[in-house]
């Protein structure tokens, strides 16, 4: 028998005639025959996009398709009520269902429902849907072409300006003269006429920039690169340096003090202001982060917060982080007005946090060709918040540019600030190692004779900076009596740079040229000058057998076999020592800062549970390099640009991907935009095993490796990947050699990275942060307690025990062994303390006795791991982005370079963010919250759960000054575009302050009543449709059950018949067997009788033969034929 279908019934199958046992046998053949006899239908036009799904009419059941109704939904019709006909009967003409449905009469509860349904459908069809927005469903090129083709003669447009050495303009504003499909004719400001392709035309319309209209660039009527740039230039000319792009803050460096924008009065204003009404300002970002970490919000629950401040050198990143820190420190103390102890602790933490800035600025900032106070390291400040107060504040630093200590161009750049401040304003006890009236021209690390002389203004500023630095050092735990030792170590680094080497013709090695710099450097480091000179010009040689048996540490202690170093090798060894000392000192200061910040916490917050709670709510401030592309780009630029690739990917994932996921989950359209993806560039730079940084790490560990071999390996990988769309290391042009450069395609453009020139450190030197074991051991035995502590605790560039390659796990970014434990890649290791990034110190070693690979400390590997941990922390946080922009190269206060600003905006991904935020719906208000906000203007009997939400919101928002195309209805909330959110809030404020009997309130009441009636009508229609479906389903199931019952009865009867037949067959077989047995028995009995008769006859004959025949006797008659008995018929 056939089986009934197990899949659910569909609406069409419920009304079709059922086959045997409820199946649909023969349905495909019937459709095929009908298609064969039916003429081909005419082509139909492409249907329009369907309207968006409606929110639920009655929770929790999901809604039917969008339905609208009018207030006349319950009105009784004047004509006789028509019979309700089944849709299947009218559509398919089923003869079985038509008589049944024609005999039905509608009940009193269904009167007028057909008219109500017609009204609902007509209203929905007349209501504009956001899905028909061409900007949403067209590609960016199609949308742009649509806008260009709609231009009219006389309207304004922008076209790109040709590159020029005497003009910084990026766009020309022109006037349209003619619009064609393939070209647009425009008139330039000079009167020249030009024909431009449509894709190169940026509409400007009749919009003229006004300061009040450009607070948020998403509100611009014409949004493109040119209008964004024009708005920023206009605001800069009006002294407005901050601009919103939705939730992204663009900060223009004013290049002059703007004290009127900051201070206590401005802080109080932002602390008490509604975030949605805040003007663009850094304080608004800080306030949003503070509230996100301390309070619950409707749209965003309390969670980790992180503020990412990025931009190129000179854009104002350090000042922005300083202002954010100042606001957070003030905000915490303001929050704790009622508790004097907690308020004092908050003030102490804020004071120490702000005093860390001068120390980091002195030892980590320098003057570059683009900025006079450029941060040469990355900084992440994690501020734990518990109950609105500071807790577990830590500072982590990354990628200090240590190569600047030993090499920089003195014509345009300088070394770190502390060296110059010490020379110009140091005290006698701090300058014991420096000659009288020493200047930067006396030291090779400061440029020597090529360094420019100090000015009086620089000297005066240096005095103030040194006083501020001394106070800051005392605040972080370096008292005044220890500060001379610290500055003595700084002077020792300068004296190391003055140690020069000459070739020794007699020995073939090198020797120290001047003894005085050597003596002063050894005095500052607390080591013997002879020992220092020995290990700067010689290196112990240990054979493999001795190294494998005794270890490198013990094998080199008393070894007289030395390798003589050339002057170049000795200079590299000297520079490595200088970089190691300064790097250790910098990280030692960071550890002192973290210790000072931890010392001012409340006692009740020092336990483990409190630390876990503090980690739950934190604010991170990230100050990181912007994208860099110079005439000569080296190892530092590659690391910086790799970090920016990671940040760009994070920005894309935060702004684009999350917005799209939220829109799609609610059924709200999202613009079709090709999202920029930096995965390919990230893999090309840091992917194993052929990423650029991994190739550099491998080359650094090779004995005798040269920089040219590394560049050749990178270009060989580029040739291998040539033609692959994922390739980001490009083949070199003919003008460049493979051993001198390679090109990487970044998200912001192609960058050429060059090898180190003559006299400058190579890529291998910059990547190797190890110190030779002899010098490391000498520093551990120093007579200076500070030097011993620096090299014992470790720091940036400290050699750690174990291989630099470590023991890899399957998890990306997680390395065990030499990188400080199995939790090396966890986010907590980045936020815990600066010591989490560095392990215990140990000298340089060979990896094994049978290999020629060194176990060095790789700066690139360390940076990759630290950056991976930082990205993990940022991905777990709600991000706030600040894009700083440098207005001009000269850092002039009244100059704006559009071309330079446009390049920075493109590097920051601002244009893509503007386009998506303009088209998407950024503000989301749940229906329940909207109804609560409207509660004062709605009737008392208003029930939000019993109304048509879609109709009510669609009618209410236009009354509240929200345009139809500025909102979309989701499943659980209404989505508003960026420009519509302030309009709605202003309208709600006016509604609360207005009279309850105002016209707006009366219209809202009318809408609520109408929506309630629509809900009731829609509920009745839905119930009727469900009842009808249930009836059809019940009838179909009943018919199927009857078929199944009949089939089951037939099956039972067949089984009974078969069983009886089997019984009869068994009986017949038994009877036949009995008959055969009986016949066989009778046959055997007959055979036995015959045998007995034959025996008697034989006996008679034998006896007669022996006696002989008697003459008087007649011969015996023979027996009848066939034996004794007469023949019998055969058995049946």
How far apart are the C-alpha atoms of 769 and 538, rounded to whole Å? Answer: 19
Question: Residue 344: pLDDT above 80?
Answer: no
Look at residue 422 in the predicted model and tell me its pLDDT: 93
Element (H, E) at 397: strand 389-398
What backbone phi and psi angles, to 5 degrees, belong to 439? -130, 175
Residue pLDDT, tens place only, 851-863: 445 567 788 888 8
CA distances from 1105 to 316, 711, 910 (A): 156, 137, 144
Q: pLDDT class for 389, splitting at 50, 70, 90?
A: confident
Residue pLDDT, tens place only, 280-339: 999 999 999 998 888 876 556 678 899 999 888 888 888 999 899 889 888 887 765 556
**851: Cβ–Cβ under 8 A, 6 or more apart, which residues?**
none
What backbone phi and psi angles, to 5 degrees, belong to 909? 70, 25
Q: Which two tokens stand for residue 444?
A: 């090779």
CB atoms within 10 A of CB 939: 12
Residue pLDDT, tens place only, 139-174: 667 767 877 888 888 888 999 998 876 778 899 999
Look at residue 479 in the predicted model and tell me its pLDDT: 92
Cross-strand pairs, 216: 244
In Å, how far from its chain's centre is CA 735? 39
Q: Which two tokens stand for residue 898?
A: 């559009």
**609: Cβ–Cβ under 8 A, 6 or more apart, which residues?**
none
Look at residue 602 in the predicted model and tell me its pLDDT: 54
Residue pLDDT, tens place only, 765-784: 888 877 888 888 899 999 99
Look at residue 133 in the predicted model and tell me its pLDDT: 46
Closest by Cα among 282, 248, 293, 340 to 911: 248
CB atoms within 10 A of CB 632: 14
Sheet holding 378-386, edge to edge: 242-245, 248-252, 878-885, 305-311, 618-625, 378-386, 389-398
Closest by Cα among 315, 493, 272, 295 to 910: 315
CB atoms within 10 A of CB 650: 18
Look at residue 981 in the predicted model and tell me its pLDDT: 67
Look at residue 398 in the predicted model and tell me its pLDDT: 83
* C-beta of residue 679 within 8 angstroms of C-beta of residue 665: no
How far apart are the C-alpha atoms of 53 and 55, rounded to whole Å? Answer: 7
- 511: helix, coil or strand? strand
Look at residue 254 in the predicted model and tell me its pLDDT: 92
Look at residue 964 in the predicted model and tell me its pLDDT: 75
In Å, how far from its chain's centre is CA 328? 27
Closest by Cα among 979, 898, 912 to 230: 898
Alpha helices (H) along 498-634: 515-525, 529-537, 544-550, 552-555, 567-599, 608-616
What value, to the nearest 5°, has the Cα angle with vertex 1050 and ends 1045 and 1053?
125
CA distances from 705 to 3, 701, 739, 762 (A): 77, 8, 13, 11
Question: Residue 991: pLDDT above 90?
Answer: no
Element (H, E) at 478: none
Q: pLDDT class for 947, splitting at 50, 70, 90?
A: low
Question: Residue 543: pLDDT above 70?
Answer: no
Question: Residue 36: pLDDT above 70?
Answer: no
Q: Which two tokens stand for residue 549?
A: 């048996």
How far apart are the C-alpha atoms of 448 and 431, rounded to whole Å? Answer: 18
**669: Cβ–Cβ under 8 A, 6 or more apart, which residues?**
52, 130, 131, 133, 136, 137, 663, 968
Question: Residue 846: pLDDT above 60?
Answer: no
Q: pLDDT class for 1127, splitting at 50, 70, 90?
A: low
How far apart are the C-alpha atoms of 251 and 242, rounded to whole Å? Answer: 5
Q: What single-letter DSSP state applies at residue 374?
A: E
Closest by Cα among 387, 452, 396 to 420: 452
Average of per-residue pLDDT across 597-606:
64
Average of per-residue pLDDT across 57-83:
38
By mean pLDDT, which of 827-831, 862-866, 1096-1100 is the weakest?
A: 827-831
CA distances from 324 to 281, 285, 353, 432, 1127 (A): 10, 8, 11, 39, 136
* C-beta of residue 910 within 8 angstroms of C-beta of residue 250: yes
Closest by Cα among 159, 166, 227 to 194: 159
CA atoms within 13 A on the CB side of 282: 27
- Give the mean pLDDT of the chain: 75
- 285: helix, coil or strand? helix
Residue pLDDT, tens place only, 661-705: 778 888 888 777 666 678 899 999 998 888 999 999 999 888 778
Question: Residue 839: pLDDT above 90?
Answer: no
How far apart are the C-alpha atoms of 431 and 494, rounded to whole Å? Answer: 11
Strands (E), 1069-1108: none
Look at residue 1036 in the predicted model and tell me its pLDDT: 94
Q: What is the separation, in whole angstroms, between the first and last Cα of the chain?
A: 46
Q: Which two tokens stand for residue 623?
A: 């100050």
Look at residue 577 in the predicted model and tell me its pLDDT: 93
Residue pLDDT, tens place only, 608-662: 443 444 345 789 999 888 788 888 899 988 998 999 899 888 887 777 766 777 7
Look at residue 936 in the predicted model and tell me its pLDDT: 60
Residue pLDDT, tens place only, 717-745: 999 988 888 889 999 998 899 999 999 99
Q: Which residue has the higher pLDDT, 930 or 711?
A: 711
Question: Residue 838: pLDDT above 50?
Answer: no
What backbone phi and psi angles, to 5 degrees, belong to 358? -60, -35
Average of per-residue pLDDT across 125-133:
39
High-pLDDT (> 90) share of the chain, %: 29
Q: What single-letter DSSP state applies at residue 216?
A: B
Question: Residue 199: pLDDT above 60?
Answer: yes
Q: Which two tokens stand for residue 537?
A: 């010009």
By mean pLDDT, which of 200-209, 744-753, 968-977 is the weakest?
A: 200-209
Look at residue 225 in the predicted model and tell me its pLDDT: 86
Percent of residues in the chain assigned helix, strand, coil, to nearest 5: 50, 10, 35
* C-beta of residue 873 within 8 angstroms of C-beta of residue 827: yes
Going by DSSP bridges, is the β-strand pair 389-398/378-386 parallel, antiparallel, or unpaired? antiparallel
């Amino acid at each position: 028998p056939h089986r009934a279908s197990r899949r659910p019934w569909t609406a069409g199958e419920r009304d079709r005639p059922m086959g045997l046992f409820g199946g649909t046998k023969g349905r495909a053949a019937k459709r095929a025959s009908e298609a064969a006899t039916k003429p081909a239908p005419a082509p139909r036009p492409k249907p329009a996009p369907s309207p968006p799904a409606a929110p639920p009419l009655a929770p929790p059941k999901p809604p039917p398709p969008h339905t609208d109704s009018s207030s006349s939904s319950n009105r009784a019709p004047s004509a006789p009520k028509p019979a309700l006909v089944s849709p299947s009967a009218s559509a398919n003409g089923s003869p079985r269902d038509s008589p049944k449905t024609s005999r039905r009469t509608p009940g009193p509860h269904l009167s007028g429902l057909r008219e109500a349904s017609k009204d609902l459908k007509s209203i929905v069809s007349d209501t504009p849907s956001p899905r028909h927005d061409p900007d949403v469903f067209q590609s960016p090129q199609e949308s742009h072409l649509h806008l260009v083709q709609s231009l009219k003669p006389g309207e304004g447009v922008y076209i790109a300006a040709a590159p020029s050495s005497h003009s910084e303009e990026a766009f020309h504003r022109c006037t349209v003269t003619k619009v064609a499909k393939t070209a647009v004719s425009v008139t330039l400001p000079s009167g020249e006429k030009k024909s431009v392709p449509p894709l190169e035309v940026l509409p400007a319309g009749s919009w003229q920039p006004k300061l009040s209209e450009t607070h948020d660039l998403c509100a611009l009527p014409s949004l493109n690169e040119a209008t964004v740039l024009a708005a920023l230039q206009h605001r800069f000319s009006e002294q407005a340096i901050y601009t919103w792009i939705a939730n992204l803050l663009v900060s223009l460096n004013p290049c002059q003090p703007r004290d009127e924008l900051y201070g206590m009065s401005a802080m109080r204003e932002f602390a008490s202001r509604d975030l949605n009404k805040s003007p663009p300002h850094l304080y608004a970002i800080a306030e949003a982060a503070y509230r996100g970490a301390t309070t619950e919000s409707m749209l965003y629950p309390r969670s980790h917060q992180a503020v990412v401040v990025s931009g190129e050198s000179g854009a104002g990143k350090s000042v922005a982080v300083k202002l954010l820190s100042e606001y957070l420190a003030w905000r915490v103390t303001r929050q704790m007005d009622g508790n004097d102890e907690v308020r004092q602790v908050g003030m102490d933490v804020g004071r120490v946090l702000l005093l860390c800035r001068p120390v980091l600025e002195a030892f980590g900032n320098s003057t570059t060709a683009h900025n006079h106070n450029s941060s040469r390291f990355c900084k992440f400040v994690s501020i734990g918040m518990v109950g609105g107060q500071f807790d577990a504040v830590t500072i982590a630093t990354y990628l200090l540019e240590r190569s600047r200590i030993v090499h920089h161009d003195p014509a345009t750049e300088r070394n770190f600030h502390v060296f110059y401040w010490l020379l110009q304003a140091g005290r006698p006890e701090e300058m014991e190692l420096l000659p009288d009236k020493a200047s930067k021209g006396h030291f090779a690390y400061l440029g020597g004779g090529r360094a420019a002389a100090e000015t009086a203004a620089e000297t005066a500023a240096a005095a103030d900076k040194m006083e501020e630095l001394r106070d800051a050092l005392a605040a972080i735990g370096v008292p005044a009596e220890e500060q001379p030792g610290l500055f003595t170590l700084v002077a020792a680094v300068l004296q190391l740079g003055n140690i020069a080497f000459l070739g020794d013709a007699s020995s073939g090695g090198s020797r120290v040229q001047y003894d005085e710099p050597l003596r002063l450097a050894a005095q500052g480091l607390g080591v013997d000058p002879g020992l220092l000179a020995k290990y700067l010009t010689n290196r112990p040689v240990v054979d493999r057998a001795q190294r494998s048996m005794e270890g490198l540490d013990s094998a080199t202690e008393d070894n007289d076999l030395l390798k003589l170093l050339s002057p170049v090798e000795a200079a590299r060894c000297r520079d490595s020592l200088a970089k190691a000392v300064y790097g250790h000192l910098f990280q030692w200061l960071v550890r002192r800062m973290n210790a000072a910040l931890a010392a001012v916490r409340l006692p009740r917050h020092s336990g483990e549970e409190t630390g876990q709670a503090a980690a739950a709510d934190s604010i991170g401030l990230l100050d990181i390099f912007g994208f860099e592309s110079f005439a000569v780009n080296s190892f530092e630029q590659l690391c910086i640009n790799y970090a920016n690739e990671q940040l760009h990917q994070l920005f894309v994932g935060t702004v684009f991907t999350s917005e799209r996921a939220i829109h799609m989950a609610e059924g709200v359209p999202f613009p079709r935009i090709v999202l920029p993806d930096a995965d390919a560039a990230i893999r090309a730079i840091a992917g194993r095993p052929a990423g650029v940084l991994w190739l550099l790490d491998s080359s650094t560990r090779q004995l005798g490796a040269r920089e040219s071999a590394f560049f050749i390996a990178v270009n060989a990988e580029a040739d291998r990947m040539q033609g692959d769309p994922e390739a980001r290391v490009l083949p070199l042009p003919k003008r460049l050699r493979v051993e001198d450069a390679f090109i990487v395609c970044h998200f912001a453009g192609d960058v050429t990275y060059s090898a180190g020139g003559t006299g400058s450190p190579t890529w291998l030197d910059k990547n190797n942060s190890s110190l030779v074991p002899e010098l490391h051991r000498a520093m551990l035995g120093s007579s200076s307690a500070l030097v011993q502590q620096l090299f014992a605790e470790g720091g940036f560039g400290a050699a750690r025990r174990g291989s630099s390659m470590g023991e890899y796990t399957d998890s990306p970014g997680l390395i065990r062994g030499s990188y400080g434990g199995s939790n090396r890649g966890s986010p907590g290791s980045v936020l815990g303390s600066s010591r989490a990034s560095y392990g215990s110190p140990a000298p340089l070693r060979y990896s094994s006795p049978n290999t020629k690979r060194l176990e060095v400390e790789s700066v690139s590997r360390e940076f990759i791991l630290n950056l991976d941990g930082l990205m993990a922390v940022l991905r777990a946080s709600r991000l706030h982005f600040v894009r700083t922009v440098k207005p001009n190269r000269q850092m002039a206060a009244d100059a704006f370079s559009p071309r330079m600003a446009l390049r920075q905006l493109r590097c920051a991904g601002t244009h893509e963010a503007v386009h998506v935020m303009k088209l998407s719906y950024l503000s989301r208000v749940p229906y329940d919250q909207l109804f609560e906000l409207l509660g004062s203007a709605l009737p008392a009997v208003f029930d939000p759960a019993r109304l048509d939400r879609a109709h009510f919101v669609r009618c209410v928002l236009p009354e509240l000054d929200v345009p139809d195309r500025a909102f979309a209805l989701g499943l659980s909330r209404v989505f508003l575009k960026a420009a519509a959110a302030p309009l709605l809030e202003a309208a709600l404020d006016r509604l609360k302050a207005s009279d309850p009997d105002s016209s707006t309130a009366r219209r809202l009441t009318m809408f609520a009543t109408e929506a309630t009636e629509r809900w009731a009508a829609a509920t009745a229609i839905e119930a009727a449709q469900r009842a009808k479906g249930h009836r059809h389903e019940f009838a179909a199931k009943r018919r199927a059950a009857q078929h199944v019952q009949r089939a089951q009865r037939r099956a039972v009867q067949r089984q009974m018949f078969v069983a009886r037949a089997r019984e009869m067959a068994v009986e017949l077989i038994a009877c036949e067997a009995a008959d055969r047995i009986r016949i066989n028995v009778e046959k055997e009995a007959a055979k036995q009788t015959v045998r007995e008769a034959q025996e008697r006859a034989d006996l008679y004959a034998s006896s007669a033969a022996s006696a002989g025949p008697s003459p008087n006797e007649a011969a015996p008659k023979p027996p009848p034929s066939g034996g004794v008995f007469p023949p019998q018929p055969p058995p049946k």
